[in-house]
């Protein structure tokens, strides 16, 4: 049947399983919005307050479900407003399809009104992008975008469609939802080499990243850990792959990792890595990273092998397949001395992280939130100290329940992402944010109110840009340059002005009183919670430093 290009876009999105899409109308996408209007019983569109919010919402949708998130924006400023969201998804390997309108082919290249070369702009931050010149290519290009976005190491793909292509008529036939490409099986020789290293190891440490979440490989990680008798540490992106309650779990390592996780990694004689890329936040100074260990690097992306850290064995493949093969290839091992050492480190870490009873601290606030959530509750964050506190403290039990911008570290990510996750899953979603990050995209409160999205916004309000302040305290002679915000924003009143209830907590007792009320709200709600501006994220490996420089008690510096 012959359809308009804009309808072909919408039909292809539906065909590819996009039940909810996010976006913002504009001159060069009016036709797409007309097609969305005609198909509104089959595809749900959420208009955000700003295209950036829409891009983060599509990202949150993808992170919480594993499905491809879709965002639509008009040409020019609409498209450029997506850039931060696309880059966020790119750095964290999140499957996203961004559809942008552009001026008609006849006006391309003439600096027309709201014309921007968005494929040029997004080239370095997409897995691939397309400019659809001819309507004949439209449906297949969008299908190809979905295939690329979700295959192998996922990532964002942008499809730019000029207005005349949206307006044209062309034959369209529904096709089946496109499947991910098959991942080649891991090389047996690599598995055998890895098994040899494991057999010889006395202090193995399993180190997992976002790839373990993407491939839903938690069970396989645990099976290997049981077989080789190893603890499991992770990057920030690896959080939630394995339940935090598992006794082998050490949690995040790296710049703000748990003491036990970072120290154990340094003491290990073998690091078995699944789905991580040895980011500088994880490794610190690479020349001093894991000096005592041999490394087995397992990832789906061959270009990550030996990119940042040289490894003894590199195994390419899907994390589940690689882990299963490796587990089958190794003998059951026991390392009682090593596991006793790990236990000792865990106990010491618990002591370090102990909180004074009755005091409102970042950790007691997170504990209080956790008392009102269940293991399926999604917790999103923005970026900064609050993000690290959540990463360290919140007991994540279920894959894809932790939603946070890792690689790009995008302040302002959280609210859009939380709305996307809550919309995709229909579950109550908590956003833990800071007053700095929240200030960047708080306009999305409007979106949450319009859609009655069940998002509990929890602001850790310390009146400062806490993470930068922490660096200024530790490394810049307390020169608090532009990090003391001196705002007079009343977030409770602001929430009410947007149309959602707001609460304020100054003490822990007050917080305990408020939380049941806030969690009982049907729809969005905001809690403004006072946090000490000099609370630190600890431990800390100083930038460019190594495990030898770990800061546990800054007063001792």
Beta carbon nearer to other proteins, 117 or 229: 117
Look at residues 465, 450, 467 and name the one whose alpha carbon lies nearest to residue 540: 467
State how far the Cα of 193 lies from the Cα of 326, in Å rounded to an integer. Answer: 10
51 is catalytic: yes
Cβ 2 to other proteins, closest distance in Å?
Answer: 27
- The site that binds other proteins (CB under 8 A) totals a number of residues, namely 14
Beta carbon nearer to other proteins, 77 or 302: 302
Distances (CA, A) of 18 to 96, 141, 175, 244, 465: 11, 16, 14, 32, 37
Contact status: 302 vs other proteins (CB under 8 A): yes
Contact status: 203 vs other proteins (CB under 8 A): no
The residues in 113-132 that bind other proteins, with binding defined as CB under 8 A, are 119-120, 123-124, 127-128, 131
State how far the Cα of 352 lies from the Cα of 359, in Å rounded to an integer. Answer: 16
State how far the Cα of 518 lies from the Cα of 505, in Å rounded to an integer. Answer: 12
Cβ 410 to other proteins, closest distance in Å?
Answer: 19
The residues in 435-454 that bind other proteins, with binding defined as CB under 8 A, are none
Contact status: 184 vs other proteins (CB under 8 A): no
Please calculate the CA angle 162-163-169 and round it to the nearest 5 degrees.
105
Cβ 115 to other proteins, closest distance in Å?
Answer: 17
Please calculate the CA angle 319-321-322 and round it to the nearest 5 degrees.
65
Helix axes 319-329, 188-200, angle to 10 degrees: 50
Beta carbon nearer to other proteins, 123 or 189: 123
Beta carbon nearer to other proteins, 131 or 389: 131
265 is catalytic: no
114 is catalytic: yes
Q: 319, 467, 500, 540: which one is catalytic?
A: 467
Contact status: 89 vs other proteins (CB under 8 A): no
Rg (CA), the chain: 24
Beta carbon nearer to other proteins, 303 or 374: 303
State how far the Cα of 40 lies from the Cα of 82, in Å rounded to an integer. Answer: 24
15 is catalytic: no
Contact status: 305 vs other proteins (CB under 8 A): yes
Residue 141, phi then psi, degrees to nearest 5: -65, -40
Beta carbon nearer to other proteins, 77 or 120: 120
Contact status: 306 vs other proteins (CB under 8 A): yes
In a 10 Å sphere around its CB, with 0-12 CB exposed, 13-18 middle and 19+ buried, how is residue 474 labelled? Answer: middle
Provide the residue count of the chain: 557
Contact status: 17 vs other proteins (CB under 8 A): no
User: Which token pair is 218?
Assistant: 């938690």
113 is catalytic: yes
The residues in 455-474 that bind other proteins, with binding defined as CB under 8 A, are none
In three-state secondary structure terms, 374 is coil
Give the residue numbers marked as catalytic: 51, 113-114, 163, 467
> Using CB under 8 A as the criterion, which residues of the chain lie in contact with other proteins when the complex forms?
119-120, 123-124, 127-128, 131, 148, 301-303, 305-307
């Amino acid at each position: 049947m012959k359809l308009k290009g804009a309808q072909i876009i919408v039909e292809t999105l539906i065909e590819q399983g996009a039940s909810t899409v996010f976006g913002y109308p504009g001159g060069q996408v009016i036709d797409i919005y007309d097609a969305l209007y005609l198909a509104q019983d089959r595809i749900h569109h959420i208009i955000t307050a700003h295209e950036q919010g829409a891009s983060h919402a599509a990202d949150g949708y993808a992170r919480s479900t594993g499905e491809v998130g879709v965002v639509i924006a008009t040409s020019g400023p609409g498209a450029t407003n997506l850039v931060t969201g696309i880059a966020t998804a790119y750095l964290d390997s999140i499957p996203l399809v961004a559809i942008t309108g552009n001026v008609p082919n006849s006006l391309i290249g003439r600096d027309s009104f709201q014309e921007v070369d968005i494929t040029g702009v997004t080239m370095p931050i997409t897995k691939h992008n397309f400019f659809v010149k001819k309507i004949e290519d439209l449906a297949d290009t969008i299908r190809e975008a979905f295939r690329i976005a979700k295959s192998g190491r996922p990532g964002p793909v942008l499809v730019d469609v000029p207005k005349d292509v949206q307006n044209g008529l062309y034959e369209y036939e529904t096709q089946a939802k496109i499947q991910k490409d098959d991942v080649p099986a891991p090389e047996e020789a690599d598995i055998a080499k890895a098994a040899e290293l494991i057999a010889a190891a006395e202090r193995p440490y399993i180190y997992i990243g976002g790839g373990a979440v993407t491939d839903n490989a938690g069970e396989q990680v645990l099976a290997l850990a049981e077989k080789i008798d190893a603890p499991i540490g992770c990057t920030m992106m690896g959080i939630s792959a394995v339940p935090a309650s598992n006794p082998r779990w050490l949690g995040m390592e790296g710049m703000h990792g748990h003491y036990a996780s970072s120290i154990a990694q340094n003491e290990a004689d073998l690091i078995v890595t699944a789905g991580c890329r040895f980011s500088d936040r994880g490794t610190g100074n690479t020349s001093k990273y894991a000096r005592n260990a041999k490394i087995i690097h397992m990832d789906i992306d061959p270009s990550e092998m030996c990119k940042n850290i040289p490894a003894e064995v590199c195994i390419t493949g899907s994390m589940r397949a690689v882990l299963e093969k490796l587990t089958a290839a190794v003998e059951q091992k026991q390392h009682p001395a090593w596991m006793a050492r790990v236990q000792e480190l865990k106990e010491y870490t618990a002591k370090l992280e102990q909180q004074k009873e009755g005091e409102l601290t970042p950790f007691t606030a997170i504990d209080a939130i956790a008392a009102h959530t269940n293991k399926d509750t999604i917790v999103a964050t923005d970026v900064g100290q609050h993000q690290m506190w959540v990463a360290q403290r919140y007991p994540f039990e279920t894959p894809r329940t932790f939603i946070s911008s890792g690689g790009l570290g995008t302040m302002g990510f959280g609210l859009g992402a939380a709305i996307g996750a809550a919309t995709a899953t229909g579950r109550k979603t908590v956003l833990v944010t800071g007053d700095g990050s929240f200030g960047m995209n708080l306009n999305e409160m409007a979106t949450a109110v319009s859609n009655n999205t069940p998002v509990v916004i929890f602001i850790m309000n310390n009146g400062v840009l806490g993470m930068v302040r922490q660096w200024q305290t530790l490394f810049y002679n307390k020169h608090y340059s532009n990090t003391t915000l001196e705002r007079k924003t009343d977030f409770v009143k602001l929430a009410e002005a947007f149309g959602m209830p707001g609460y304020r907590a100054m003490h822990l007792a007050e917080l305990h009183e408020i939380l049941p009320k806030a969690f009982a709200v049907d729809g969005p709600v905001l809690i403004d919670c006072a946090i000490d501006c000099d609370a630190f994220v600890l431990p800390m490996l100083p930038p460019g430093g190594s495990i030898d420089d770990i800061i546990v008690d800054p007063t001792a510096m």
